[in-house]
Amino acid sequence: MKTYYLDHAATTPLDNRVLDEMLPLMTSHFGNPSSIHHEGVIVKKKINESRQIVADYFGVSPKSIIFTSGGTEATNLAILGYAKAHTDRKEIMTSTIEHHATMHTLDELEKRGYVIHRIPVNHEGFIDIDVFKNKLSEHTLMVSFIWANNEIGTIQDIESIGHLCHAKGVKLHVDAVQMVPHYAIDLNKMPIDLMTLSAHKFYGPKGIGALIVKDKNLLTPILYGGNQQMGYRSGTENVYGIIGLAKALSLLGSEREERTKQSLMMSDQFMNKLKRLIPEIKLNGPKHHEKRLPGLLSLSFPNCSSTGLAYHLDELGFYVSTGSACLSNDMLMSHVLKAIGVSDKVGTIRISLGSLISFDDLDSIVNGIVRAYQEVKA
């Protein structure tokens, strides 16, 4: 049975060219980068070269790059590290559709006495800018928003939000994990102070991400040990992960525009085909694709359950998601769908296209979804 991987927003396959770059650091050059002997120096040099690649890609200084175990750790470091370094303010602003890495970190700070303002969103997932402006004040410690939502694909106007923050002297952290694979980001021109990214969203390895910090004085470390990475993230570096992230980012730089163009065209064709056969389906999030992540479609089907539809599609060889993969075992309705007013009486799946899907696959995918829906709907 042929299978169709439709969950690229959860993770992407490792590009063979990235693996080729990583393998020597997993085998031949396995030295500890903190060692002063020849093997250690070779590895340290590779890390420094990778750091420069990442810095150049985003238009920042190499000293701005802190490699982490992934997006979750990077977000934790951004929020907790900033709060720990600036104890004079206790109010933080976020949205109601954040990734769980942000949500749960802020939940923890709330237990410690911080006031968390969760800005509501409209039916397409865009934050209520008037509420945001009214809550933003001299008491605000920081603002943390997801740039492109991982479930419904909504792309926030981060540039405008950042300017509003800076006008009040407030720092902005952005979760750009889903944004980086699809759009060029020049942090030299953007009012962003801290930014999270993760390699496995753009065909790099799992277990490696980065926090970009324009000014290192913004942070206090949350991990302690051997003082690696200028003391901001102790622990022996994930060398081959770092090399893999840098290589994946290099490939992204040369191929991103074509990938994004193809994803947009493919998702439009897919949606048109599916809508003709199931006219009652609803696309969640922005209707205009320029305001939604390319290739990401959150679809609601009346009179069926999300898990029932996803499980049946799985049996047919179509691998989709019901929302964020980070809570795949949670049978409760997604907080993102609740926030935009999706009824709990419909079944919702997320389809995210990528390198494992071609235009030739679209008819088979559409027919598979139609078949699954007909079999599970009430």
Catalytic-labelled residue, pool 116, 223, 326, 333: 326
What's the average model confidence in pLDDT over 23-28?
Answer: 92
What's the average model confidence in pLDDT over 139-165?
Answer: 98
Ramachandran angles phi, psi of 117, nearest 5°: -95, 115
What's the average model confidence in pLDDT over 194-198?
Answer: 98
pLDDT at position 331 = 61
Ramachandran angles phi, psi of 341, nearest 5°: 85, 20
Ramachandran angles phi, psi of 198, nearest 5°: -145, 130
Domain with CATH 3.90.1150.10 in the chain: 4-12+256-376
The whole-chain average pLDDT of the chain stands at 95
Tokens for 38? 């020849």
Does the domain formed by 4-12+256-376 have CATH 3.40.50.1390? no
- Mind listing the pLDDT tens digit for each residue in 51-81? 999 999 999 999 999 999 999 999 999 999 9
Tokens for 177? 């994990």
Query: Can you tell me the distance from the alpha carbon of 213 to that of 235, in angstroms, rounded to the nearest whole number?
Result: 19
Does the domain formed by 16-251 have CATH 3.40.640.10? yes
Ramachandran angles phi, psi of 152, nearest 5°: -115, -5
Query: Can you tell me the distance from the alpha carbon of 163 to that of 154, in angstroms, rounded to the nearest whole number?
Result: 20
Looking at the predicted structure, is the pLDDT value of residue 253 above 60?
yes
What's the average model confidence in pLDDT over 354-360?
Answer: 96
Q: Which of 197, 213, 180 is closest to 78 using CA atoms?
A: 213
Q: Which residues, including other chains, have CB under 8 Å from residue 283's CB and lie 6 or more apart?
A: 271, 297, 298, 299
What's the average model confidence in pLDDT over 119-134?
Answer: 98
DSSP 3-56: -EE-BTTT--PPPHHHHHHHHHHHTT----TT--SHHHHHHHHHHHHHHHHHHH
pLDDT at position 355 = 95
Categorize the per-residue pLDDT at 324 as very low, low, confident or very high, splitting at 50, 70 and 90: low
Looking at the predicted structure, is the pLDDT value of residue 327 above 60?
no
Looking at the predicted structure, is the pLDDT value of residue 100 above 60?
yes
Among residues of the chain, what percentage have pLDDT more than 90?
90
Lowest mean pLDDT among 5-9, 182-186, 225-229, 374-378: 374-378
Is residue 220 a contact partner of residue 30, using CB atoms and an 8 Å limit? no
Identity of residue 327? L
Q: Which residues, including other chains, have CB under 8 Å from residue 175's CB and lie 6 or more apart?
A: 71, 75, 98, 99, 101, 102, 144, 145, 146, 147, 196
Whether 326 is catalytic: yes
Looking at the predicted structure, is the pLDDT value of residue 323 above 80?
no
Categorize the per-residue pLDDT at 35 as very low, low, confident or very high, splitting at 50, 70 and 90: confident
Is residue 176 a contact partner of residue 185, using CB atoms and an 8 Å limit? yes
Looking at the predicted structure, is the pLDDT value of residue 151 above 70?
yes
Query: Can you tell me the distance from the alpha carbon of 189 to that of 339, in angstroms, rounded to the nearest whole number?
Result: 31
Query: Can you tell me the distance from the alpha carbon of 131 to that of 128, in angstroms, rounded to the nearest whole number?
Result: 5
Domain with CATH 3.40.640.10 in the chain: 16-251
Beta strands per DSSP E along 257-345: 282-284, 296-302, 318-319
Q: Which of 100, 38, 39, 108 is closest to 70 using CA atoms?
A: 100
Is residue 31 a contact partner of residue 39, using CB atoms and an 8 Å limit? yes
What's the average model confidence in pLDDT over 179-205?
Answer: 97
Looking at the predicted structure, is the pLDDT value of residue 119 above 70?
yes
